Structure 1
Amino acid sequence: MTDHPVDLDKHRGMAAQKATDLRRALAEVETHARELRERESELEHRMMSAPAASWPEAAVKARHLLNLYAASLPAEDTRHRALVAKLLDDFTRLTEVDRGSS
């Protein structure tokens, strides 16, 4: 017995090493995706728990919903994608104008 761990990756063939690397990467991606879904759920709960106190706050909620909608659109639906993009640009522009007048 030795107190030093054996690096099994060094003893694998190239194909086995690539398969191991892919499994590790997939596990990491799945973990990040789960964490993202949990954070998104938490955000949506916070958004539903209280009404917006201002137009910029309402725009944040609308921006989130528009991004969800845009993500569900088929790639060939360029008209609706462009419309969503223009509306998000409007929100950004109007929010900046509102900040400038405050």
Structure 2
Amino acid sequence: MLKARVFACCAFQCLRFSNFLSFPNAETIQTLILLLNFLRNQADAGASWSLLGLAIRLAQAIGMHCPPDPESISDPTEKDEAIIHHHIWRSLIWQDTLISLCYARPLGINVLEEHS
């Protein structure tokens, strides 16, 4: 248990060093997803839900909520990035649904207004 807490603290420190609020990217959002799962498994619903809200907003800030069709992208690197963004966004939808159901919290993502 102590090792898990140490790794979580190190992950938060790495996020701070990366200036993730000003320069979000796929890796920082994936890190936030891992951390919110850790917090949820520690029965810290409030912190997990708050961190999920932050991850959702950062993902929206870089356009993960309305990705382009990967088939319309010719560059293989850009296509892979679009697919990764799509999977991260779907993971956020899943986390949002799970936390909302388990802890009676409001959803942060309105799937009826989804563009993808």
Q: Same fold (TM over 0.5)?
A: no
Q: TM-score of the superposition, structure 2-length normalised?
A: 0.31
The higher relative CO (CA closer than 8 Å, separation ≥ 6) is in 2
* Rg (Cα) greater in structure: 1
